[in-house]
Amino acid sequence: MSDIAIRVEGLGKQYRIGGSRQSNRTFRESILDTIASPIRWLRGERNHQETFWALDNVSFEIKQGEAIGIIGRNGAGKSTLLKVLSRITKPTKGRVDLYGRVASLLEVGTGFHSELSGRDNIYLNGAILGMKHAEIARKFDEIVSFAEVEKFLDTPVKHYSSGMYVRLAFAVAAHLEPEILIVDEVLAVGDTEFQRKCLGKMEDVARGGRTVLFVSHNMAAIKALCDICILMSKGKVSKIGETGMVISNYLNTDVRSEYVRKQPIPKRKKLHIYGVRLLKNGIVENTFYNSGYLCLQIECEITETIRGAQIAFELLNEQDECVFSSTSQDQNGTKDVLLPGRYVFECQVNLNILRSGRYQISVASSVPNVEMLDVLENHVVFDLLDDSSPILRLGQNRRGVVLLNLPWTIQKG
Amino acid sequence: MTKTNITSSLNPVGKPLISIEPQRGWVSLELTDLWHFRELLLLLTWRDIKVRYAQTILGAAWAIIQPILTMVIFSVIFGQLAKLPSDGIPYPIFTYTALLPWQLFAFSLTNSSNSLVGSQSLISKVYFPRLIIPIASVLPALVDFAVSFLVLIGMIFYYHIPLTTRILVLPFFLLLAVATALAVGLWLSALNVEYRDIRYVVPFLTLFWQYATPVAYSSSLIPEKWRLLYGLNPMTGVVEGFRWALLGSGRVDGMIWVSVGIIFLILISGLAYFKRMEATFADVI
């Protein structure tokens, strides 16, 4: 088996939550903790230090020259896997064999120092990524012209525009020549044209016989780059195989975009929600793109006349945070009188402020401040993907629950 | 396919180049790995030196200003007002000779204690032997030392102090000062990752340590019965050594080997603690 590049066997990484998860403990806390722990133990609170496996018995092999995509939801263990493979953190169990020099690119511009010039930073960043001085010197001109920063080589990078900064940082990384390259979502930076350039460079690397491991939420990039794909879920490898197959598997697993209540309407219930579905162009769909719209359709039956009833929904992200909510009264006011019969409520949801990821919608109906009519919690789910809008992709590295593309003006003086 | 040919020629059949396994028991220092990254060590040192005085008006002059100002203050307070004895040597040069290794030590210690926490983004994003960080943070102070040493040479001529062959032993004491800073720095930097209290402890530690070291006063003030305890402080050996080598005062005896032994102990235990904690730096930092 001489053509193996990476062999992962029974890999596990355990993290503690609770107890010592707060990273910056103080002496006092840890002393108090030690004093308190026997008492806690006596009380039977033995699970004080809860643990969880960020990686759980992960095994796979990658051949030399293969480009592998790693996909999965947030918290599925992708980043932890990359961290272990790039030796940033040690595993708790199992082992990894790497047959070749590894370079990992988990962030663009790691170790850049804002006071140093572009030239200095190229050497510094190159060394941090594991390049030898001579190697950087040899590729120096190539790096500079790839980054298009010739004129500003001797300017401290703190005066660079963010675009220049990112270009320079990626350019250094792109000229690494390891046998195994590990890349995290770094393509999600820069403008569209530069992204294309980066993707092209990555393809060259992959076609040049190097092994590439690539994590991304951008399915299009994964499809373009990788022959084989690993789907991670809850710290485990849930699928490995040909990219197209794994991606469609990922997009379809437990994503229920239509919910129909089967049970009959209970007695004395004035309003009964019996169906919720997500539509794209009139068709039930579970995958949406953030450039488009989602049509939320709620069907209900009303058994007696109600005044002032509303249908409302909440959109929750993977962390179970409510991103926003909306009600049918937002625009019509409260005066609607609903006569008995079947109703269909529809709402067009503009997705352009949402980050990519998985979302749930829970639906409820009430007469505000009077009574709750019906609740359906977390019953429809959809996946939101990036399409190539540069603003949204750029935004994936930012903090915040939503992404807004806001108009800016700059005035001098 | 050409693909496989290229890489298999790079990497002939056999053992993996790198194996990643859980850490258990005692760990090796992985010195070959450290050697492999020696260029990074130099670059990080160079970066610290280059960036240190960025956006200051006086720039590298600060390297001289700090010990000179301290010397002036000490000379006025301890030399003129308190009239502390200085073994027959003019007080300014008496204290300046001690201040040089002391400030080298204090700066290095402070830098290395905060070095890991200051390199948070590097540690959580890239692999390299973590030992490089505290080591690289100890070295820049040597440049400051070299600059302020030139002033000392000037003072030696000004005060007509005869130089002897003892000066040849100076590098040994210099090494001792750096080793002490590194040894304590290894402990503190690794502790600082988990307990940010260290950041607040270090200023007091250096202040207290300075008074426990004969920087502003002569060690001849220390009663004989406390000598042994006093000599356990390795920096006493360093400072006395500097005075002994340059000014002909001070006292260098068998205690210096006790200092060397203590530094060695702290260094070895610091390395062991550091390597043990290294595996979790990225998780807790």
The answer to whether residue A57 is domain-embedded is: no
Q: Which helix (H) or strand (E) holds A177?
A: none
The three-class DSSP label of residue A376 is strand
Q: pLDDT of B34-81, one tens digit each?
A: 888 888 999 999 998 888 887 788 878 888 899 999 999 999 999 889
Token pair belonging to B256: 């210096």
User: Cβ-count burial of A206 within 10 angstroms (0-12 exposed, 13-18 middle, 19+ buried)?
Assistant: buried
Q: Percent of chain A beyond pLDDT 90? A: 21
The answer to whether residue A224 is domain-embedded is: yes
Nearest CA in chain A to B193: A24
Nearest CA in chain B to A104: B126
First to last CA, chain B: 45
The answer to whether residue A344 is domain-embedded is: yes
User: Do A183 and A316 share a domain, yes or no?
Assistant: no
Provide the domain count of chain A: 2
Question: Residue B120 — φ and ψ, nearest 5°?
Answer: -45, -50
User: Do A297 and A337 share a domain, yes or no?
Assistant: yes
Identity of residue A101: R
User: Do A175 and A264 share a domain, yes or no?
Assistant: no
Residues B241, B244, B247, CA angle at the centre, nearest 5°? 130
Residue A307's DSSP bridge partners are: A337
What is the pLDDT tens value at each position of chain B, 285 positions in all? 333 333 333 444 567 788 888 876 666 777 888 888 888 999 999 998 888 887 788 878 888 899 999 999 999 999 889 888 888 889 999 999 999 999 999 999 999 999 999 998 889 888 888 999 999 999 999 999 999 999 999 999 999 998 888 999 999 999 999 999 999 999 999 999 988 889 999 999 999 999 999 999 988 888 888 888 888 899 999 999 999 999 988 778 888 888 899 999 999 999 999 988 888 888 887
Find where tokens 């500003």 sit: A152
Query: Would you list the DSSP string of B52-76?
Result: HTTT-SSGGGHHHHHHHHHHHHHII
User: Do A286 and A195 share a domain, yes or no?
Assistant: no
Strands (E), A318-388: 322-327, 337-338, 341-350, 357-367, 371-385
Residue A211's DSSP bridge partners are: A180
The half-sphere exposure of A211 on its side-chain side, counting CA atoms within 13 A, is 24
CATH number of the domain enclosing A289: 2.70.50.60
User: Do A75 and A96 share a domain, yes or no?
Assistant: yes
A116 neighbourhood in chain B, CB within 8 Å: 47, 50-51
Cβ proximity of A66 and A210 under 8 Å: no
Token pair belonging to B11: 């990497």
A252, A275, A294: which is the final residue of a domain? A252
Token pair belonging to B74: 């000490």
B45 neighbourhood in chain A, CB within 8 Å: none
Size of interface A-B (CB pairs under 8 A): 145
CATH number of the domain enclosing A187: 3.40.50.300
Pick A124's closest partner by Cβ from B14, B43, B128. B43
A185, A218, A252: which is the final residue of a domain? A252
The answer to whether residue A165 is domain-embedded is: yes
- Say yes or no for a CB contact (<8 Å) between B197 and A26: yes
User: Do A227 and A300 share a domain, yes or no?
Assistant: no
A33 neighbourhood in chain B, CB within 8 Å: none
Rounded (10°) angle between helices B38-52 and B140-158: 60
User: Do A283 and A234 share a domain, yes or no?
Assistant: no
User: Do A265 and A345 share a domain, yes or no?
Assistant: yes
Cβ neighbours for A73, distance < 8 A, ≥ 6 positions apart: A233, A318, A357, A358
The answer to whether residue A103 is domain-embedded is: yes
Cβ proximity of A403 and A382 under 8 Å: no
In chain B, positions 50-109, which contact chain A (CB-CB < 8 Å)?
50-51, 54-55
pLDDT number for residue A35: 66
Residues A289, A107, A395, CA angle at the centre, nearest 5°? 30
Pairing state between β A283-284 and A371-385: unpaired
The answer to whether residue A56 is domain-embedded is: no
* Whole-Å CA distances, A299 to A63, A256, A285, B110, B160: 52, 16, 17, 67, 101
Q: pLDDT of A323-343, one tens digit each?
A: 999 998 888 766 678 889 999
User: Do A267 and A303 share a domain, yes or no?
Assistant: yes
A94 neighbourhood in chain B, CB within 8 Å: 21-22
- Say yes or no for a CB contact (<8 Å) between A93 and B22: yes
Pick B196's closest partner by Cβ from A26, A91, A120. A26
User: Do A89 and A232 share a domain, yes or no?
Assistant: yes
Query: Which residues form the domain of A375?
Result: 258-395
The answer to whether residue A411 is domain-embedded is: no
User: Do A193 and A299 share a domain, yes or no?
Assistant: no
**pTM of the full predicted structure?**
0.73
- Say yes or no for a CB contact (<8 Å) between A89 and B282: yes
- The pLDDT-based confidence of A106 (bands split at 50, 70, 90) is confident
A184, A218, A252: which is the final residue of a domain? A252
User: Do A271 and A161 share a domain, yes or no?
Assistant: no
Nearest CA in chain A to B127: A88
* Whole-Å CA distances, A394 to A162, A202, A402, B131, B140: 11, 18, 13, 34, 37
The answer to whether residue A20 is domain-embedded is: no
Find where tokens 């890239």 sit: B126
